[in-house]
Amino acid sequence: MSQRWQTSPAVPPAPYTVIAGVRVVDPSRGLDATGAVHLADGLVLAAGPEAAGLAVPDGAEVIDGRGLVAAPGLVDMQVHVGEPGHDHRETLATASAAAAAGGITTIITMPDADPVIDDPALVDFMLRRARDTAIVRVHPMAAATKGLKGQETAEIGLLGEAGAVAFTSGRHAIANSRVLRRALTYGRDFGALIVNMPEDPDLVGSGVMNEGETATRLGLSGIPREAEVIALERDLRLAALTGGRYHAALVSCAASVEVLRAAKRAGVDVTAGISLAHLALNENDIGAYRTFFRLSPPLRGEDDRRAVVAAVADGTIDVIVSNHDPQDVETKRHPFAEAADGAIGLETLLAGGLRLVHDGSLTLLRLIEALSTAPARRLGLGAGTLAPGAEADVVLFDPARPWVFSEGLVRSRSKNTPFEGARFQGRVLRTFVAGRTVFALG
């Protein structure tokens, strides 16, 4: 149901590029070995140990990859952009520049724009705008209900034909069970993926952070874990009832992991995502009421964080996303309880994920799978692989290079990062889309 991203005819052909002596990590083939990567005519010619012996044609660009990692470009399954309607927060151009700097070659945009992306003409607008202004691939999700109001199912078939790759409730859940059942049923008939935020709005209420001792100490109203778990259990029962394809947009707590495991054992067609922030941070990071740490779902306790990291490692949680949500000073420079949810995350997605590799929580192969191969597979995209003949979307990074993420490095139009001043080990050096360099460090 997706529409293939295309470059302008005016763009010259991609050069022949060889990355030599590099560690090639390709989860689609279970590959983690030293070799080479050959890119030609916008495609992967070869990648892996067998590519090391290929002849290099005259005029080819040869990159010394010793000590570096080449992997499929990342596929970020949850990216909020301001365009159309809130261009002052983010545009497709600025979001794609930030994505390229983070090693992301495909972004999946959310439909909560102004107007809401719930009409085939608006899906077409997003694709055309991306073609004209973005430097990475852009695929829009469309609204699962008209206006994202949760009351009437959108035209899933027509939206899919226009190029929508999935259908989502956006920042909030479809609270009406009958409406979600209809969306899953219609989605099943079209082979469409329904993405819902597992969240009970009544239990969330006026809560602004995780319910518990820390919230009490800070004097802030809490959101119980049950707000997520009860909604997730309902969604999974409806997915089982309808036989629909379901993706839990964002999970955050240990109890949700157990619910997901049970559903997968029962054969429900379910996948789940989690934001990098919920894997790297916990409720204590809110500190002195810093609003850049006000997220939805809220940052949970350390026990929950450890549980969801383990769930990513064993595949119970399938996908890691940035949940990039640009907010400006008008929505963030408020008391914590009055500020908007959300943080940017495109540029820190890979670097933050590498923290989990360095501390032994994840293998590098599993991290790249969750960041690239798994989301591409779930959405039916031809990305997330370095197999011969695949489109040459590649990230080249140094897994050991230390650096500090400062505001001056932020390419996003908004600056609401929870990782300002964070020290990372592992940095993107170069990003290729269709064999062309769209980001090069320095």
**pLDDT, tens digit, 9 for 90 and up, residues 266-312:** 999 999 999 999 999 999 999 989 999 999 999 999 999 999 999 99
pLDDT at 6 over 70: no
pLDDT at 3 over 80: no
**Bridge partners, residue 145, by sequence:** 153
Q: Name which of 45, 155, 145 is nearest 432 in CA terms.
A: 45
Per-residue pLDDT tens over the stretch 330-345: 899 999 999 999 999 9
Angle between helices 226-242 and 254-265 (to 10 degrees): 10
Torsion of CA 273, 275, 278, 279, to 10 degrees: 80
Per-residue pLDDT tens over the stretch 69-90: 999 999 999 999 989 999 999 9
Residue with the larger pLDDT of the pair 74 and 14: 74
217 burial level (CB within 10 Å; 0-12, 13-18, 19+): exposed
Task: Kindly state the average pLDDT of the residues 309-337.
Answer: 96
Whole-number percent of the chain with pLDDT over 70: 97
Residue 51 CB neighbours (<10 A): 21
Distance CA 440, CA 442 (A): 6
Task: Kindly state the average pLDDT of the residues 99-108.
Answer: 98
Q: 114 to each of 227, 321, 395, how far by Cα in Å?
A: 28, 23, 32
Residue 205 CB neighbours (<10 A): 13
Task: Kindly state the average pLDDT of the residues 352-374.
Answer: 98
Return the structure tokens found at 372. 């690239």
Strand order in the sheet with 245-248: 142-143, 167-168, 193-196, 245-248, 270-275, 319-321
pLDDT at 247 over 80: yes
- CATH assignment of 17-70+392-440, among 3.30.70.270, 2.30.40.10, 1.10.40.60, 2.60.40.1120: 2.30.40.10
Return the structure tokens found at 283. 């409720």
Residue 13: per-residue pLDDT: 72
Residue 273: per-residue pLDDT: 98
**Bridge partners, residue 26, by sequence:** 31
Distance CA 407, CA 428 (A): 17
Q: What is the pLDDT confidence band of residue 12, given thresholds at 50, 70 and 90?
A: low
pLDDT at 434 over 70: yes
All residues at 6 or more sequence positions from 10 whose CB lies less than 8 Å from its CB, including other chains: none
Q: What is the pLDDT confidence band of residue 433, given thresholds at 50, 70 and 90?
A: very high
Answer positive or negative: Cα dihedral of 141, 147, 148, 154: negative
Residue 11: per-residue pLDDT: 54
pLDDT at 420 over 70: yes
pLDDT at 8 over 60: no
Domain ranges of the chain: 17-70+392-440, 73-379
pLDDT at 9 over 70: no
Distance CA 405, CA 88 (A): 23
pLDDT at 64 over 50: yes
CATH for 73-379?
3.20.20.140
Mean of pLDDT over the chain: 95
